[in-house]
């Protein structure tokens, strides 16, 4: 009987170990989505500053031209909204961006020019569209492609 209990305990331990290994494999092999990557980047780049905003708009310099033009117009109309942060990424020329959107707008505290293209995620097709990131209590609660 004691041998039966030992064997049963060994089998349970093997099952727990197998389930743990499979879970670890699943987590490691899981492909990062645009949502998860952009969430991580935003939270690590801006940290505590995110509590100042309700939403972030990422506007790429190239991609869906109609979508980008619409968001540039939105930016010009809403740049003074201090609850919105605007990130311009993948721009070929800072000078052209300043000419197009006006220096006084680009220099606002809630505007970030991503010269390093950190927010332009090459591995994801969503990068060519503007994005809206909704924040709640300084944390990302939603990522939406603005097509």
**Can you tell me the distance from the alpha carbon of 112 to that of 83, in angstroms, rounded to the nearest whole number?**
14
Domain identity same for 54 and 124: yes
pTM, two decimal places: 0.78
Query: Domain containing 79: what range?
Result: 34-145
Domain identity same for 23 and 44: no
Domain identity same for 7 and 65: no
Domain identity same for 73 and 109: yes
Domain identity same for 73 and 136: yes
Q: Look at residue 19 in the predicted model and tell me its pLDDT.
A: 56
Q: How far apart are the first and last CA of the chain?
A: 67
User: Which spans in the chain are helix H?
Assistant: 2-29, 34-46, 65-78, 94-101, 103-106
Domain identity same for 66 and 92: yes
Domain identity same for 57 and 120: yes
Polymer length of the chain: 147
Domain identity same for 62 and 131: yes
pLDDT tens sequence for the chain (147 residues): 566 656 566 656 655 454 555 455 455 555 689 999 999 999 999 999 999 999 999 999 988 899 999 999 999 999 999 999 999 999 989 999 999 999 999 999 999 999 999 999 988 888 899 999 999 999 999 999 998
Q: Look at residue 113 in the predicted model and tell me its pLDDT.
A: 96
Query: Within 10 A of 74 (CB to CB), how many other CB atoms are there?
Result: 17
Domain count, the chain: 2
Q: Look at residue 21 in the predicted model and tell me its pLDDT.
A: 52
Domain identity same for 63 and 26: no
Q: Look at residue 75 in the predicted model and tell me its pLDDT.
A: 98
Q: Look at residue 14 in the predicted model and tell me its pLDDT.
A: 55
């Amino acid at each position: 009987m004691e041998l039966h209990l030992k064997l049963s305990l060994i089998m349970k331990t093997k099952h727990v170990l197998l389930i743990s290994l499979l879970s670890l494999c699943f987590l490691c092999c899981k492909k990062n989505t645009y949502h998860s990557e952009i969430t991580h980047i935003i939270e690590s780049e801006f940290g505590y500053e995110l509590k100042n905003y309700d939403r972030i708009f990422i506007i790429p310099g190239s991609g869906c031209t109609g979508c980008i033009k619409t968001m540039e117009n939105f930016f010009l109309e809403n740049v003074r909204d201090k609850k919105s942060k605007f990130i311009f990424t993948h721009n070929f020329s800072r000078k052209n961006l300043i000419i197009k959107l006006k220096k006084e707008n680009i220099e606002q505290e809630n505007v970030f020019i991503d010269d390093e293209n950190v927010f332009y995620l090459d591995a994801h097709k969503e990068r060519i569209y503007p994005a809206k990131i909704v924040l709640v209590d300084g944390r990302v609660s939603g990522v939406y492609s603005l097509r």
